C-alpha cells in the first residue's frame, strides 16, 4: 500500500528535483547577468559607482541614442553583417563539398577525412587562433616563407594585418576552418538520408549532376542545411576570440566587430552602460535574423 | 524494501544539497582572515628584487607580530581588470601597486584612501613624475615606489667594427653613428636595423613629440584637450618617421613588447629602452642570445632639439584602497617598503629610486648611470587626466603611429584623427 502511494507521488516530485539544479544553474549563470545587462544598458554606470557600490543613475534611452547616432557604430554593424555572411556562405559551401566528397569516396578515405575533421573540431578556438597567428607572422611566419618559394612572389616581412581586407581574409579562414567539421559532418549525415534510387532514376531520366543536386538532393537536406546555416550565423555574428587573439589583444578600429566594440567600450573606455547597450543591440539584431530563418524552417516543415 | 523506495528521493535531494553546498563553499570562501594584510605587487618585485620584499616583511613582522603579510604578484596586463573586479566587491587588497599613468582615474573615482605624506621617508624629495601622479586637490593618494627612464642601448662590438668611437653625445653624432652602422652592416644583412624603432612603440615616438616641444594633451582649466596635431607635435612625429624610414628594417606594425628578444637575434645596432632590456637581450629566457652578454652599453639618448631626448618616466606607486579594513597597517607596510633602506636595495637592483636625493647615489659610471641622468633632467609623464587610461587601453596612440609608419596616412591626418579620439574619452571618469 505504501509502495502504491510512493509510485503515484514520485512522478510529481522527482522530475522537478532532477531538473531543478539545471534550472537554478541557468537562472544564476545566464538569467541574472542577462537581466543585469539589460538594466545596465538603461543606466549610466561609471567607475565611481563601481568602486563605491552606489546605484548608478537611470539614463533612459541615452546610451542607445549615443550609439545609434554614431556613424562608426553603423560601420561596425555593417562590417559584422558582411563578415557573418561571408563566413556562413564559405562554411556551408565548403561543408557541402566536403560532405559530397565523403559521400562518394571509399570507406577508408572517408574514415581518414572524418578523423581529420574531428581533430580540427577538437582544437579549441584559442589554440587555433594562436597557431594561425604564428603561421601568418610577418617576420617568422611559415605562410610568408612558403609563398615566397613560388617564383616571382616575395612576401618576406609582409604583414597580413596592415591591410584590413587581407587581415579579415586570414580571420575568415580561421573561423571557417574551425566551423567546417560541424557543417561537413552534419551535412554528410543529411546526405546519407537521400534515397539512392531517387538519384539514380533522375540520372536515368537524363538529369545533369547539378540538376540532380538542385531537384533531388537539396529538397531532402534542406532542413538540415537551414539549421546549419542558422547556427553558423549565430556563432559567426558573435566572433570575438579569433580577432582578439590574432590582433594580440589590441585590435585596431578597422578590426572591430560588434562583440569587440562592446568589450572595448565596456572594459577599455569604462563606459559600462554603452557597452551593455551595444551588446543588447547585437542580441536584438541576432534575434531578428534568427526569426527569419526560424520562420522559413517552420514553413519547410509544413510543406513536407 | 518499501522504505528504501520511499526514501530514495530524499536521499537524492540531500545528495544534491550536499553537492550544491560543496560548490558554494568552494568558490566564495576565505573572505575574512583576521590580522592578514594583502599586498598586490607587480611581477617586477618577484623577478628583480624579491629580497627587498622579504626584508620588508621581516621588518614589518617585528613591528606588528601576529599580522600575516600575503604578497600576491600580478601581471601588468591583467592587474587592473582584476583590481576593478575586486574593488566592486568588499574583499579588497590592502596595498596595490599602480603605474603612475594609471593612478588618476582611480583617484578621481574615489578608489583610494588618502595618505599623509609626512609619514613616509623623504616625501619632500619625491620625484615629481611619481608624486604628481598621486596628488589630487592638495591631497596625496599613493606613495612613490620606483621609476624608470629609457636610454639608448648600443652594441659596443658593432660600434667598433663600424669605426664609431663611442657613445654619441649629440644628435648629429647619433645620426652619423646610424649612418656608419647602416653602411657597414646593411649591404650584407637585409634584416639589419641601425636603429630599432618599431612603429607601435609609442613611448619612443612621444619622446620625439616632447623633444620638439609638443604635447599629447594640454590642460585647459578643468578640461584636457589633445594636442598631437599641433605644429610642434607634428614636427616631432615627422622626425620620428624620418628615423624609421632611414634606419629601421622590419615590420612597422610591431610594438616594443618583444624588443629584447629581437635585439638578441643580432640584427640591431642601437635601440631605445630600459636598462634592464640590455640584460634581457642576452638572456635566453626572454629570447636573447647569451653570446651577447658583454656587448651592450647604455647612453643618454640625445634629442634633435640639442637637449637629451626627454624620457618617459614610467614608474610605480603604492596605494591603499578606500575599502581596505586595515589602512593603518597598510600605510605602515608601504612606509617600510619605500624608506631609505629599501630604496638602496632598489638602486642595487639597477632601478631608479623614488626621490631626487637618492637619484644622485646611482653610480654615474654604472649601466644605470645614463638612466639616472635622464631621469634627473625631468622627463615626461602621460597626462594626469581622468580618462587617460581609456586613451591607453583603446590603443589610440599605437594605431596613429602605425598608420604614420606604414604610410597609410600623413602625419597631420593621423594626428588629427587621434586628437579627435582622445578628446572623446580623456575627460571621462
SS3 string of chain B? CHHHHHHHHHHHHHHHHHHHHHHHHHHHCCCCCCCEEEEEEEHHHHHHCHHHHHHHHHHHHHHCCCCEEEEEEECHHHHHHHHHHHHCCCCCCCEEEEECCCHHHHHHCCCECCECHHHCCCHHHECHHHHHHHEECCEECEEEEEEEECEEEEEHHHHHHHCCCCCCCCHHHHHHHHHHHHHHHCCCCCCCEEEECCCCCHHHHHHHHHHCCCCCEEEECCEEEECCCCHHHHHHHHHHHHHHHHHCCCCCCCCCCCHHHHHHCCCEEEEEECHHHHHHCCCHHHCCCHHHCCCEEEECCECCCCCECCCEEEEEEEECECCCCCHHHHHHHHHHHCCHHHHHHHHHCCCECCEHHHHCCCCCCCCCHHHHHHHHCCCECCCCCCCHHHHHHCCHHHHHHHHHHCCCCCHHHHHHHHHHHHHHHCCCC
Average pLDDT, integer, range B237-256:
93
Question: Average of pLDDT values for A54-70?
Answer: 91
**Residue B86: closest C-alpha in chain A:** A51
Nearest Cα to A218, choosing from A201, A205, A242, A199?
Answer: A199
pLDDT at residue A304 tops 60: no
Supply the pLDDT for residue A104: 87
In the predicted model, is pLDDT for residue A29 greater than 60? yes
Measured between beta carbons, the chain A residues lying within 8 angstroms of B402 are: 162, 252
pLDDT of residue A300: 65
Going A189 to A190 to A193 to A199, the CA torsion angle's sign is negative
User: Is pLDDT above 70 for A233?
Assistant: yes
* pLDDT tens per residue, range B378-389: 789 999 999 998
Q: A174 vs chain B: nearest CA distance in angstroms?
A: 21
For residue B108, pLDDT over 70 is answered with yes
Q: Is A97's pLDDT higher than 60?
A: yes
The reply to whether residue A269 touches residue B399, judged by beta carbons under 8 angstroms, is no
Scan residues 365-394 of B and list those with Cβ closer than 8 Å to A.
387, 389-390, 393-394
Asked if B379 and B415 touch (Cβ cutoff 8 Å), the reply is: no
Report how far apart, in Å, the C-alpha atoms of A87 and of each of A171, A235, B115, B297 are: 10, 10, 55, 51
Q: Say how far apart CA B134 and CA B138 lie, in whole Å.
A: 10
Give the pLDDT band (50/70/90) at residue B2: very low
Residue B325 distance to chain A (closest CA, Å): 15
Reported confidence tier of residue B112, pLDDT bands at 50, 70, 90: very high
pLDDT at position B367: 81
Name which of A51, A56, A158 to mutate to probe chain B: the one with the most chain B Cβ atoms within 10 A of its Cβ.
A51
Task: Give the pLDDT score at B13.
Answer: 41
d(CA A138, CA A134): 9
Domains delineated in chain A: 21-60 (no CATH), 72-303 (1.10.3720.10)
pLDDT over 80 at B239, yes or no: yes
Q: Which of B284, B176, B396 lies closest to A268, judged by CA?
A: B396
Q: What is the pLDDT of residue B30?
A: 34
CA B21: distance to chain centroid?
43
Mean pLDDT, residues A80-86: 96
Share of residues in chain B with pLDDT > 90 (%): 68
Which pLDDT band, with edges at 50, 70 and 90, does A9 fall under? low
**Inter-chain touch A53–B2, beta carbons under 8 Å:** no
Q: Dump pLDDT digits (tens) for B168-226.
A: 999 999 999 999 999 999 999 988 999 999 999 999 999 999 999 999 999 998 899 99
By Cβ distance, the residue of B5, B250, B252 closest to A3 is B5
Higher pLDDT pick, B116 / B33: B116
Using a CB-CB distance cutoff of 8 angstroms, which residues of chain A are in contact with residue B81?
A: 267
Task: Give residue-wise pLDDT tens across range A206-231.
Answer: 888 888 888 888 988 988 998 899 88
If one compares A141 and B98, the residue with the highest pLDDT of the two is B98
Q: How many CB atoms lie under 10 A from the CB of residue A100?
A: 17
Flag if A14 and B394 touch (Cβ within 8 Å).
Answer: no
Average pLDDT over residues A52-59: 88
CB-CB neighbors (< 8 A) of A2 in chain B: 2, 6
Q: Which residues of A touch B (CB under 8 A)?
A: 2-3, 6, 10, 13-14, 17, 20-21, 46-48, 50-53, 138-139, 157, 159, 161-162, 249-250, 252-253, 264, 267-271
Average pLDDT, whole number, for chain A? 89
Contact list in A for residue B113 (CB cut-off 8 A) is none
Interface residue B16 vs chain A (CB under 8 A) = yes
Percent of chain A topping pLDDT 70: 95
Predicted model pTM? 0.82
Residue B16 and residue A21: Cβ atoms within 8 Å? yes
Closest residue, chain A, to B422 (C-alpha): A269
Nearest to A51 among B16, B20, B109 (CB): B109
Q: Is residue B4 predicted with pLDDT exceeding 90?
A: no
Point out the residue among A47, A249, A253 whose CB comes nearest to the CB of B399. Answer: A253
What pLDDT, in 10s, does the model give residues B131-159? Answer: 999 999 999 999 999 998 899 999 999 99
Interface predicted TM-score (ipTM) over 0.85: no
Least confident of A115-124, A280-289, B362-371: B362-371
CB B335 within 8 A of CB B145: no
The answer to whether the CB atoms of B394 and A252 lie below 8 A apart is: no
How many contacts, defined by CB atoms under 8 Å, are there between A and B? 85
Flag whether residue B103 sits within 8 Å of chain A, measured between CB atoms: no
Question: Which of B253, B390, B398 lies nearest to residue A270, judging by beta carbons?
Answer: B390
> What is the model's pLDDT at position B18?
40
Check CB contact of B98 with chain A, cutoff 8 Å: no
Of A88-102, B9-23, B68-82, least confident by mean pLDDT is: B9-23
CA distance A250 to chain B (A): 7
C-alpha cell at B266: 643580432
Whether B273 has a pLDDT exceeding 70, the answer reads yes
**Domains in chain B and their CATH numbers?**
36-148+314-376 (3.40.190.10), 151-312+383-425 (3.40.190.10)
The position carrying cell 611581477 is B43
Amino acid at each position: 500500500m505504501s509502495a502504491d502511494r510512493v509510485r503515484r507521488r514520485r512522478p510529481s516530485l522527482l522530475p522537478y528535483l532532477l531538473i531543478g539544479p539545471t534550472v537554478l544553474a541557468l537562472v544564476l549563470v545566464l538569467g541574472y547577468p542577462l537581466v543585469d545587462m539589460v538594466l545596465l544598458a538603461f543606466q549610466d554606470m561609471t567607475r565611481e559607482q563601481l568602486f563605491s557600490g552606489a546605484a548608478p543613475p537611470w539614463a533612459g534611452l541615452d546610451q542607445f541614442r549615443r550609439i545609434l547616432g554614431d556613424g562608426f557604430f553603423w560601420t561596425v554593424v555593417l562590417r559584422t553583417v558582411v563578415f557573418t555572411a561571408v563566413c556562413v556562405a564559405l562554411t556551408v559551401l565548403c561543408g557541402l563539398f566536403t560532405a559530397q566528397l565523403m559521400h562518394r569516396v571509399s570507406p577508408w578515405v572517408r574514415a581518414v577525412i572524418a578523423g581529420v575533421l574531428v581533430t580540427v573540431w577538437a582544437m579549441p578556438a584559442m589554440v587555433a587562433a594562436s597557431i594561425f597567428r604564428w603561421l601568418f607572422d610577418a617576420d617568422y611566419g611559415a605562410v610568408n616563407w612558403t609563398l615566397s618559394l613560388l617564383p616571382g612572389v616575395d612576401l618576406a616581412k609582409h604583414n597580413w594585418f596592415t591591410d584590413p581586407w587581407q587581415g579579415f581574409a586570414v580571420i575568415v579562414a580561421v573561423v571557417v576552418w574551425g566551423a567546417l567539421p560541424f557543417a561537413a559532418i552534419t551535412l554528410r549525415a543529411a546526405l546519407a538520408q537521400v534515397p539512392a534510387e531517387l538519384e539514380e532514376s533522375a540520372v536515368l531520366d537524363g538529369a545533369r549532376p547539378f540538376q540532380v543536386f538542385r531537384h533531388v538532393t537539396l529538397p531532402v537536406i534542406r532542413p538540415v542545411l537551414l539549421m546549419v546555416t542558422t547556427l553558423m550565423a549565430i556563432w559567426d555574428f558573435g566572433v570575438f576570440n579569433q580577432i582578439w587573439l590574432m590582433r594580440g589583444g589590441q585590435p585596431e578600429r578597422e578590426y572591430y566587430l560588434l562583440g569587440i566594440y562592446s568589450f572595448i567600450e565596456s572594459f577599455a573606455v569604462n563606459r559600462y552602460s554603452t557597452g551593455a547597450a551595444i551588446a543588447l543591440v547585437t542580441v536584438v539584431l541576432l534575434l531578428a535574423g534568427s526569426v527569419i530563418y526560424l520562420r522559413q524552417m517552420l514553413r519547410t516543415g509544413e510543406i513536407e | 524494501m518499501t522504505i528504501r523506495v520511499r526514501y530514495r528521493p530524499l536521499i537524492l535531494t540531500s545528495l544534491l544539497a550536499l553537492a550544491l553546498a560543496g560548490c558554494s563553499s568552494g568558490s566564495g570562501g576565505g573572505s575574512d582572515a583576521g590580522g592578514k594584510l594583502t599586498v598586490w605587487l607587480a611581477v617586477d618585485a618577484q623577478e628583480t628584487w624579491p629580497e627587498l620584499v622579504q626584508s620588508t616583511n621581516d621588518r614589518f613582522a617585528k613591528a606588528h607580530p601576529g599580522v600575516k603579510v600575503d604578497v600576491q604578484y600580478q601581471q601588468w596586463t591583467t592587474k587592473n581588470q582584476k583590481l576593478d573586479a575586486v574593488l566592486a566587491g568588499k574583499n579588497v587588497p590592502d596595498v596595490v601597486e599602480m603605474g603612475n599613468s594609471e593612478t588618476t582615474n582611480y583617484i578621481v573615482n574615489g578608489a583610494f584612501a588618502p595618505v599623509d605624506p609626512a609619514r613616509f621617508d623623504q616625501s619632500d624629495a619625491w620625484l615629481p613624475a611619481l608624486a604628481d601622479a598621486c596628488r589630487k586637490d592638495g591631497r596625496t593618494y599613493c606613495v612613490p615606489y620606483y621609476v624608470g627612464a629609457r636610454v639608448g642601448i648600443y652594441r659596443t662590438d658593432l660600434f667598433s667594427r663600424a669605426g664609431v668611437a663611442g657613445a654619441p653625445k649629440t644628435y648629429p653624432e647619433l645620426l652619423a653613428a646610424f649612418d656608419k652602422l647602416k653602411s657597414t652592416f646593411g649591404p650584407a644583412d637585409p634584416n639589419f636595423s641601425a636603429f630599432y624603432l618599431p612603429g607601435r612603440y609609442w613611448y619612443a615616438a612621444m619622446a620625439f613629440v616632447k623633444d620638439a616641444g609638443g604635447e599629447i594633451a594640454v590642460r585647459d582649466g578643468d578640461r584636457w584637450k589633445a594636442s598631437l596635431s599641433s605644429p610642434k607635435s607634428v614636427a616631432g612625429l615627422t622626425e620620428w618617421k624620418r628615423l624609421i624610414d632611414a634606419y629601421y628594417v622590419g615590420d612597422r606594425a610591431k610594438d616594443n613588447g618583444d624588443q629584447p628578444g629581437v635585439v638578441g637575434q643580432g640584427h640591431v645596432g642601437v635601440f631605445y629602452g630600459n636598462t634592464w632590456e640590455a640584460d634581457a637581450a642576452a638572456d635566453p629566457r626572454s629570447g636573447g642570445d647569451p653570446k651577447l652578454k658583454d656587448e651592450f652599453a647604455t647612453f643618454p639618448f640625445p634629442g634633435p632639439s640639442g637637449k637629451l631626448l626627454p624620457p618617459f618616466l614610467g614608474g610605480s606607486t603604492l596605494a591603499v584602497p578606500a575599502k581596505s579594513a586595515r589602512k593603518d597597517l597598510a600605510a605602515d607596510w608601504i612606509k617600510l617598503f619605500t624608506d631609505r633602506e629599501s630604496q638602496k636595495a632598489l638602486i642595487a637592483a639597477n632601478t631608479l629610486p623614488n626621490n631626487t636625493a637618492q637619484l644622485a647615489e646611482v653610480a654615474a659610471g654604472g649601466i644605470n648611470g645614463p638612466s639616472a641622468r635622464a631621469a634627473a633632467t625631468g622627463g615626461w609623464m602621460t597626462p594626469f587626466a581622468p580618462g587617460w587610461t581609456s586613451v591607453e587601453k583603446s590603443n589610440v596612440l599605437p594605431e596613429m603611429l602605425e598608420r604614420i609608419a606604414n604610410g597609410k596616412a600623413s602625419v597631420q591626418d593621423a594626428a588629427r584623427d587621434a586628437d579627435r579620439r582622445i578628446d572623446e574619452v580623456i575627460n571621462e571618469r
